[in-house]
Structure formats: C-alpha cells, structure tokens
Amino acid sequence: MNSKQLAWRIRRHGIEMTHLSRGSHIGAVLSIADIVAVLYNDVMSIFPHDPKNDLRDRFILSKGHAGAAIYAALAEKGFFDVKELSTHYSNGSKLSGHVAHKGVPGVELSTGSLGHGISVGAGMAIAAKRDHKEHKVYVIIGDGECDEGSVWEAALFANHYRLSNFFVIIDHNKLQSLDLCENTIELIDLGTKWRAFGWDVIEVDGHDHEQLRNALSQNKGEKPKCIIAHTVKGKGISFMENQVLWHYRDPQGDNYDNAIMELEASRDEE
C-alpha cells in the first residue's frame, strides 16, 4: 500500500464510520487524511504488533475530533482489526468520537479539548532529548485550535528548549466550527507568527504527498519544526469541500451515496 492508497482508505472509512454512527467531523477527517497517510505510511517508525516499542515515533492528534482518521490509519496499518472501525461512536465501543487511548493500541494520548496535545508532545520531545533518544514527536493541530492560548505557551517552550525533534503540523483548512477562521478570530499570517516564535516553518500543500514527505522528514537544525499544511476541509468529496456545514454534519441518504460514488471514482483513477 502506498500513501495515496492509505489516504483513500482513510477517507473511505471516514465516510462509512460517520455514516454508520451518525457521528460528526467528517470535514476534518477528510482534511487531514493525506497528512495522516504520509506520516503512518512513509515517515514514522511504527510497530503495529508492539505498539509501545520505545523506538517508535510518537504521534498525537491534538484536534481529537478528527479521530476517525487515526482509527482508520491504525486499523489499516494492523494495530487492530479493521472490523472494529464499524463500532465507532456506538455503545460499548473503544472508539469514541474524540480520539482515545484506552484500549486502542497505537494512540498515545486521548484528546478532544483543544490546545492540550501540543504541550504533551513537547513534554515527550524534551524527555527524548534529555535521554538522547532518536525518535521524533509529531502533533497535528488545527488552525482554529491556534485560538487557544496554551498553543502559544507550548510554542514558546519548544523554541526555548530547542526541541528539534518536535514536529507540529497545522491543518490549515481556514474553517472552524461556525465560520471561516478569519471571520472568527483573525489568525493573520500563521507562518510569520510561528517564525517569530522561533520555529522552522515550512508551508506545503497539505494534500501533496511529495511535499508532505519532504517537510515531515527534514532532520536538520536546532529548532522545532512547524509545517503549515494548506488543506481543504472536506477534501475529496466535492459537495463537502470548504463547507462549514460539513464540520458537524454526517453523510446520510443521497449525500452518503454521492460521497461513496465520488470516492469509488477517484479510486479507479489511481
């Protein structure tokens, strides 16, 4: 399986999981699908049958509402049975709407409240530094999540302690819960901000696997790395793209059928 194929499967599972469960946040799942696929397929050291192996790279999804994408990636990579994905959101399931670590191999941190994951990741990164370990720590945060003050506390901290093993990927799809980011709380220029906080900043097309691979594999300098991934919320399903409606809505009826049809068509093109 290559990263494109994994991304396609994450999208396919995402549609199915939110359809079955009548769960939300499909827009965010589709937005990060390519980033997650490149990380799990090409960039991170992972050990599906020994998920706590100390040599693994650490991954945290700070925007926990896109958890379905992580569950799908982990299942496809063999951390647990793909069949379990259909229990998402349901009574007695381990797969809660926001990503959870309890009983789910491969998940380092339960999240769901925004602005936590980046700080916990910084803690993991400084622990690795002090122990002279080689693994990296990757955290995906949202652009709307940058409204949280604690994100900037972590940004200051990671620079001050020169956490060069720390990668923060911003899923910059320009939409948040109710509206465009710029109509909610202006972020102005994220790149300038993170650079001013002392980070190495690379801006990429968050759906271009080659660009993502290069940015996520860089390994030089003393600074923490911020990858601003320009993404499209709802990417891959035409009627969901850039629509704030699809932050919370779940695909049912014609919407579900059309989404599957579009996805199946794009699979043939591969």
Partner 1 sequence: MRNRFVQTVSELARDNSNLFLLTGDLGFGVLTQFQQNFPDRFINAGISEQNMTSVAAGMALEGKLIFTYSIANFATARCYEQIRNDVAYHRANVKIVAVGGGFSYGALGMSHHATEDIAFMRALPEMTIYTPADPLETEAVTRAAASQDGPCYIRLGKGGEKQLYKDGALVSYYEANLLRSGKDTAILVAGAIADQAIVAAEILAMAGIDCAVYSFPSVKPLDKATILELADKMDYIFTLEEHNIIGGFGGAVSEVIAEQRTRAVVVRMGLNDEYTSMVGSQSYLREYYGLDGESISKRILNKLKF
Note the residues at the interface with partner 1 (CB under 8 A). Answer: 101, 108-113, 115-116, 119-128, 130-131, 149-150, 153-154, 156-157, 160-161
Taken in order 94, 35, 263, 73, the sign of the CA dihedral is negative
Report the residue number, 52 or 83, with the smaller CB distance to partner 1.
52
User: Shortest gap between Cβ of 127 and partner 1 (angstroms)?
Assistant: 4
User: Shortest gap between Cβ of 15 and partner 1 (angstroms)?
Assistant: 29
Q: Are the C-beta atoms of 251 and 18 separated by less than 8 Å?
A: yes
Report the residue number, 72 or 120, with the smaller CB distance to partner 1.
120
Distance, in Å, from the CA atom of 13 to the CA atom of 251, rounded to the nearest integer, reads: 12
Report the residue number, 148 or 200, with the smaller CB distance to partner 1.
148
Report the residue number, 58 or 209, with the smaller CB distance to partner 1.
58
Report the residue number, 124 or 226, with the smaller CB distance to partner 1.
124
b vs e for 141-151, b when ≥16 Cβ sit within 10 Å of the residue's Cβ?
bbbbbbebeeb
- Residue of 175, 160, 243, 230 whose CA lies nearest to 202: 230
Report the residue number, 102 or 220, with the smaller CB distance to partner 1.
102
| H-helix segments, 77-167 | 117-130, 149-160
Q: Are the C-beta atoms of 239 and 27 separated by less than 8 Å?
A: no
Q: Are the C-beta atoms of 181 and 187 separated by less than 8 Å?
A: yes
**3-state helix, strand and coil shares in percent for the chain, rounded to the nearest 5:** 45, 10, 40
Report the residue number, 1 or 156, with the smaller CB distance to partner 1.
156
Report the residue number, 207 or 223, with the smaller CB distance to partner 1.
223
- Residue of 198, 86, 258, 257 whose CA lies nearest to 94: 86
User: Shortest gap between Cβ of 120 and partner 1 (angstroms)?
Assistant: 4
User: Shortest gap between Cβ of 26 and partner 1 (angstroms)?
Assistant: 24
User: Shortest gap between Cβ of 8 and partner 1 (angstroms)?
Assistant: 32
User: Shortest gap between Cβ of 124 and partner 1 (angstroms)?
Assistant: 4
Instruction: List, edge to edge, every strand of the sheet that includes 200-205.
Output: 58-61, 137-142, 166-172, 225-230, 200-205
**Cα distance between the two ends of the chain:** 12
Distance, in Å, from the CA atom of 39 to the CA atom of 84, rounded to the nearest integer, reads: 22
User: Shortest gap between Cβ of 141 and partner 1 (angstroms)?
Assistant: 13
- Residue of 25, 107, 35 whose CA lies nearest to 74: 107
User: Shortest gap between Cβ of 116 and partner 1 (angstroms)?
Assistant: 6
